[in-house]
């Protein structure tokens, strides 16, 4: 059973929830070599996260961002403020959303549902480029 591991650098994005499925798939040519398997995606940051959700309507991304900003506001009396007002709320949001996804591979592709997409959740105003570690394993085609 082959194993592949690749670091993927996602371009800097502003705060928000960004659909990155095609960017990730484009960076993983090894997907095409696997008939069945698993892809594990891990974000190497504590102020951004990954999630899988509805990919058709941009309203979903805006609603995610609106809800998180209301639920984990910057006006709280945070004690960890050395990196700015948005830093500690970003850590909380990242912990709530999670740092990894495990996704099935079938027929050389990610076996996502019709309306599913991979989101980068950028919780900082200016988080910079984000690093993902992708690990693939499965039966060859």
What per-residue confidence (pLDDT) applies to 98?
96
Pairing of strands 100-106, 34-43: antiparallel
**Structural domains counted in the chain:** 1
| Whether residue 1 has pLDDT greater than 90 | no
| Whether residue 23 has pLDDT greater than 90 | yes
Helix (H, G, I), strand (E, B) or coil at 25: helix
Residue 74: name the closest of 125, 113, 8, 20 by CA: 125
Q: What region, left, alpha or beta, does residue 16 occupy, with left being phi > 0 and alpha being psi -120 to 50 degrees?
A: left
Pairing of strands 3-10, 14-19: unpaired
The domain in which residue 67 lies consists of 3-140
Question: 31-42 pLDDT, tens per residue?
Answer: 999 999 999 999
Residue 10: name the closest of 95, 20, 102 by CA: 20
Reported pTM: 0.95
Q: CATH no. for residue 133?
A: 2.60.120.460
């Amino acid at each position: 059973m082959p194993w592949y591991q690749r670091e993927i650098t996602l371009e800097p994005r502003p705060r928000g929830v960004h659909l990155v499925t095609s960017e990730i798939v484009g960076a993983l040519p090894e997907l095409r070599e696997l008939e069945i398997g698993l892809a594990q995606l891990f974000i190497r940051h504590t102020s951004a996260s990954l999630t899988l959700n509805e990919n058709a309507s941009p309203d979903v991304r805006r609603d995610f961002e609106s809800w998180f900003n209301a639920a984990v506001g910057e006006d709280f009396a945070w004690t960890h403020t050395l990196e700015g007002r948005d830093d500690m709320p970003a850590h909380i949001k990242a912990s709530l959303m999670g740092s990894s996804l495990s996704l099935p591979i079938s027929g050389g592709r990610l076996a996502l549902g019709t309306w599913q997409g991979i989101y980068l959740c950028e919780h900082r105003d200016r988080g910079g480029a984000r690093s993902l570690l992708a690990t693939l394993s499965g039966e060859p085609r």
